[in-house]
Amino acid sequence: MFLQDETQKALLEQEAHRLYGLLGSVSRTCEEKWTLEDCQKAASYTLRINQLKKEKNAVILAHSYTVPELVYGVADFSGDSYALSRKAAQSKADIIVFAGVWFMAETAKILNPSKKVIIPAGPAGCTLADAITEEEVRALKAAHPGLPVLCYVNSTAGVKAQSDICVTSGNVFDIAAKLPQQEFIFVPDVLMARNLEIELQKRGTPKKVISAGGSCCVHDKYTPDDIAALRCQYPGIKVLVHPECRPEVCAAADYVGSTQGMTDYVARSTEKLFGILTEQGLINRLEAEYKDKTFIGTFGICSYMKQNTLSNTMQALLNPRPEQVVELAPDVIARARQSLENMFEMSR
C-alpha cells in the first residue's frame, strides 16, 4: 500500500514472513488462525510505523490486551500495567505511544511530564477507571478520616491524585499486606476489594477493606459455571483467572494473578493445557509464545483496548489529533506521581 518498487516489495514480503513466524499460531477468530495473507496486509503498516518510530525517536508500549499485530508488529515492549508503568518511567524517547486505554497513557504522562504521550485509541475508557470520580473519593475520605487510600491503577489521574498508594493487579496483595493499618479504602474495583479481603485473611493478615466503584465489564462476566464447563470438557486443565473476576470465580481457579502472573505461571508449569479467563489478547500472546501448549478461553474482548489499530497508530505518529495527546494539570501530575512512587517504593 505504501511501498512500491522491487526492493520495497522484497522488504514487505520479508516483514510479512517475520510476522507470520510470530502470529501463525495465533487465533484471529474463534475458528481461524492468522494467515500469511493477513500478515501481508499488516506488513505495509508495520514497516512504515517502525520507520516512523526511528525518525521521531518514539517508543511504542502496548498492553497485552491490544491486537497481536500491534504487540508483535510494532511494540517495543508489551506487558501488564505494572511492567508498562516501569518501562514508561525509564523511557528515553521523545514520544511515548501508548497502545492501551486512557488511564494507562495518563500514567505514562504522570511519570514523564515533559514528554509527548500519545494514545492511538484516543480517549478509550475502561469501565473501572470510569466507575469513580475524584469528588467521590474525596467524599469517601471525609467519611473515613485517617484511613489510607489505595487506588487500583485502573483509575483516572484525578483519583490517583486523591490516593496515598497506587497498586496494580501484580502487587495489590503484597502492598495491602505490608500496610501497617488494619483498615483501608480501596477504589475503584469492588470485586478486587473482596478478593483482597479474602487473600489477606488467608495470609493471616486480615484487614477491613472499604471499597467503592464498579467492576470490569470483561472479567465480571465470568462465572464458576465457566470453570466447571472447562474442567468437564478438558479433564486436568489448569484454570487461570484475573483478580478482577468475582470471588467465587477466583475460588474455583487454580491460579489468580495479573496478566504477567498468568504468563509466569504458564512458563514455569509442566502442564500443557490451560483455561484462561481474561481478555483474548493475553491468550493470543500465550499462543504466540508457548506454541507447545494449548490455551482455551472464551473470547472475552475489551472493546476499549481493541480501539488501538495499526492504522490509528500510524496516523497518531504522523499527526496526532488533540484527543490522542495526553495533557494533565501540573498539580494533578505532582500528586498522582506520589501515589505511583509510593507503589514503586512498596514493591521493592
Residue numbers at the binding site for ligand SF4 (CB under 6 A): 101, 126-128, 154, 216-218, 244, 279, 302, 304-305
Q: What ranges in 24-99 are assigned the alpha helix state H?
A: 36-56, 68-73, 81-90
46 binds, among ligand SF4, ligand 13P, none (CB under 5 to 8 A by kind): none
* 236-239: Cβ within 8 A, 24+ apart: 236/271, 236/273, 237/273, 237/274, 237/275, 237/296, 238/265, 238/269, 238/271, 238/273, 238/274, 238/275, 239/274, 239/275, 239/277
**Residue number with CB closer to ligand SF4 (140 or 218):** 218
Q: How far apart are CA 105 and CA 118, in angstroms?
A: 7
Joined together, the cell numbers standing for residue 82 give 505494572
Residue type, 163: S
Which of 38/220 has CB closer to ligand 13P? 220
Where do contacts with ligand 13P occur on this chain (CB under 6 A)? 80-81, 154, 168-169, 216, 242, 244, 258-259
Query: Min. distance of Cβ 5 from ligand SF4 in angstroms?
Result: 42
Shortest approach of ligand SF4 to residue 153 CB, angstroms? Answer: 10
Q: CB-wise, 39 or 240, nearer to ligand SF4? A: 240
DSSP letter (8 states) at residue 275? E
Binding partner of 259, given ligand 13P, ligand SF4, none, CB within 5-8 angstroms per partner class: ligand 13P
Element (H, E) at 252: helix 247-252
Quote the least distance from Cβ 292 to ligand SF4, whole Å. 28
Residue 217 binds which entry of ligand SF4, ligand 13P, none, with Cβ cut-offs from 5 to 8 Å by kind? Answer: ligand SF4
Provide the minimum distance between the beta carbon of 216 and ligand 13P in the complex, in angstroms, as a whole number. Answer: 5
Q: Which amino acid is at 154?
A: N
Rounded Cα distance, 111 and 254, in Å? 35
User: Binding partner of residue 106 among ligand 13P, ligand SF4, none, CB under 5 to 8 Å per kind?
Assistant: none
131 binds, among ligand SF4, ligand 13P, none (CB under 5 to 8 A by kind): none
